[in-house]
Amino acid sequence: MLPSPETTQRGRRGFSPRPAAPLPEGRKDHRGWAVSAATALRSSRPFNRARARTHLNPRLQAELWTSWASLLRSYAAAHGLNSTHHAVVEVSADQITLRVNDRWLRFSFRDMQHSGEPAEPFMLNEDGTVTWGKDHEPATSIAMDMAAEQFARQMLAEAR
């Protein structure tokens, strides 16, 4: 016999999980880009390439890569509606480049590079999040769609 909902904590009426502590508003990452308190997760430890998960199932990695390119393309087009510039997303098997005017943002499976700046760690995670950050700073992990929107918005905003 299964326990009735009244006898289990999850099924008890009025039970709700304890909400996560709110993040401070107005936080920015190392580039000065705003990180939304509603979507950002901050690690207390610096990003460590050695700890980063590098062995995804190849089929899953291909799906995540295709999804990441599609999200970048969609959000770049949406933000391009209010911009005088046009964004171009170039996709290959191991690299995605978002170009706006004379600036670019290049992604590979393990790195991200912005218009000639040094590369920094970047990862697509199997849980649908994106993690990036410099080796000596706390990593930023955000849902893929929110990260793609943030990158596209910032690239097109900086092009004005």
Q: How is the chain split into domains, by residue range? A: 40-47+56-158
- Over residues 80-123, the pLDDT tens digits come to 998 888 899 999 999 999 999 999 999 999 999 999 899 999 99
Consecutive H or E run containing 28: none
Distance (Å, rounded) from C-alpha 97 to C-alpha 14? 48
* Structure confidence at residue 29 as a pLDDT band (50, 70, 90): low
Residue (of 146, 149, 145) closest to 75 by Cα position: 149
Average pLDDT for the chain: 76
How far apart, in whole angstroms, are the C-alpha atoms of residue 23 and residue 14?
25
Single-letter amino acid code for the residue at 77: A
Looking at residue 32, its pLDDT comes to 58
pLDDT of 10 higher than 50: no
What is the spatial distance between Cα 135 and Cα 149, in angstroms, rounded to a whole number? 24
- What pTM value is reported for the model? 0.66
**CA–CA distance, 114 with 107 (Å, rounded to integer):** 9
- Distance between CA atoms of residues 76 and 157, nearest Å: 11
Q: What is the mean pLDDT of residues 119-134?
A: 90
pLDDT, tens digit (0-9, with 9 covering 90-100), for 49-76? 444 455 678 999 999 999 999 999 999 9
| 130, 68 contact by CB (below 8 A) | yes
Give whole-number Cα distances, 75 to 1, 29, 86, 137, 155, in Å.
50, 20, 12, 27, 11
- The helix/strand/coil state of 116 is coil
Q: Is 10 left (phi over 0), alpha (psi -120 to 50) or beta?
A: alpha
Q: What pLDDT does 8 receive?
A: 40
Instruction: Name 34's bridge partners.
Output: 28
